[in-house]
Structure formats: C-alpha cells, structure tokens
Amino acid sequence: MSVLLAKNWAGSDPTGWWISEKLDGVRAVWDCRTLTTRNGQAIHAPQWFIDSMPKAEPLDGELWIGRGQFQRTVGVVRSRSAGDDWKAIRFAAFDAPMALGGFEERMAAMQDAVTDGAAFVLPQRRCEGQADLLEELCCVEQAGGEGVMLREPGSRYERKRSGTLLKVKTFHDAEATVIGYEAGTGRNACAVGALVAQLQDGTEFRVSSGLTDAVRRNPPAVGSLFTFKYQEMTDGGVPRFPSFLRVA
C-alpha cells in the first residue's frame, strides 16, 4: 500500500496546522492482521506483538523505541529472532489511511481504534504560528528528537509525496553513494576517517562527522547508499556540514 510522504517545510504560515514530533523509527503499515514496511515488505514481529495491536482500523505509523534509538530499532525490526527485544518497541500511529474524511476524522478513528497494547496515538496539537513552530522544533531537537511534522487541517490521505504533510528540521537530509574511503588518523589510524561520497548529480564530497567507532571499523560498502544530514548547499552544490545518519 502506497503511503503519504512528506515534503520539506519552506517557510509557509503553519498557523492552524497540526504539529507533532517527527519520530526516528521504522515506518510501518498495519492492516489489522500484519505489519509491513512502507515498501510492502513483511515485518516479522512476534505473535504476541501482533495480538496486542488494534484490530478495528488499518493504521499508518512508526515502530519506535525512543529518541536516538534508530539503529537499535532497525536491528530489532529486521531480525527474525529478536524475541524479547520487541518489548521495547511500540507502534506510534499517526494516520488512518482507510478512514473517511479529513485528518481530524481520521484522527478520531485512530483514537477510537487504539485503546491499549503495543500501539499508541501520536499526540497532535494545533500550531499557533511560526514562532510556536520554531520553539517546538528547538525543544524537540534539544531533547534528542529529529524534528517535527505539520499536517494540513482537513487534508485527505494521499498515497504520494504531498504538500499537506511537511517535515521541519534544522538540518536537511539526503542520500548519497559511497565511492571510497579516506584513512583515519590518530585514534582512528586503523579505521576509516571519512566516507568519500557522491550525490546523484555526480557531486563528490567527504563525510566524517557522525561516524561511530563501529561504522569506522565496518563502513558501508562501496556502492551502497546512505543517508546524511546537512545544513545547506554551497553555491557549488556541495552539502555543508554533512553528517552520517544511517545506511539507507
């Protein structure tokens, strides 16, 4: 099932839009029987987790452990033998794709369907304006969160990237391909110092920030795609202050 995808906020007036935290988990779709990724791949959750999910309404949401726990979440979700590790995961529901009406009606459907168990409804509130938005963004990021989301009031669920759903972050993110490595120095003398990366348009750049010791010792393979964050692009189209986030 195709899902609603967000565009980047470009400074438009957010007054009256619904605001919520942008969770750094694994996007998942619940069809009242099974969990799948946004691309339709099966997620092999334990049966007790499936049994604890709500059965009244298909849901769009995020499998989430907590702020800064993305890699741990991915490891549990991808494993077929994670067992008790799933006890740390909850399903944060933020939309009901099959419910009729605008976002407010779908939110009501979520709240009716989700009562207990492994799922909860992601809190939403009305944004009071740009100052309120930026204050919320600052609070979330200082607490270790990734950013915030804006949903247009009354908007329908569109199964595509839509301007009715906007992501707001201090840093942008993008994907690049690993084309090589630079050797480390000092304490990283026996590890990778930086990834040599290439954007889709052929622009090359280096990424050293955000690499953990584990990634430096076992970097993503040449040819693999990874996600990075950056502040802005230079006039030459090179990302400024790029920082490694995760293998795509």
Active site residues per annotation: 22
Instruction: Tell me the Cα Rg of the chain.
Output: 19
Residue with tokens 């492994």: 118
Residue with tokens 């986030």: 245
CA 185 from chain centre, in angstroms, equals 33
Q: What is the DSSP letter of 85?
A: G
Of 244, 239, 246, nearest in space to 208 by CA: 244
Q: Which run of H or E residues covers position 131?
A: helix 130-142
- Cα–Cα dist 148/213, whole Å: 29
End-to-end CA distance of the chain: 20
Of 31, 36, 81, nearest in space to 63 by CA: 36
- Cα–Cα dist 99/157, whole Å: 9
| Cβ-based neighbour number of residue 184 at 10 Å | 17
- Cα–Cα dist 151/117, whole Å: 26
Please state, in angstroms and as integers, the Cα–Cα distance from residue 195 to each residue in 55, 178, 210, following that order: 45, 7, 11
| Cβ-based neighbour number of residue 117 at 10 Å | 14
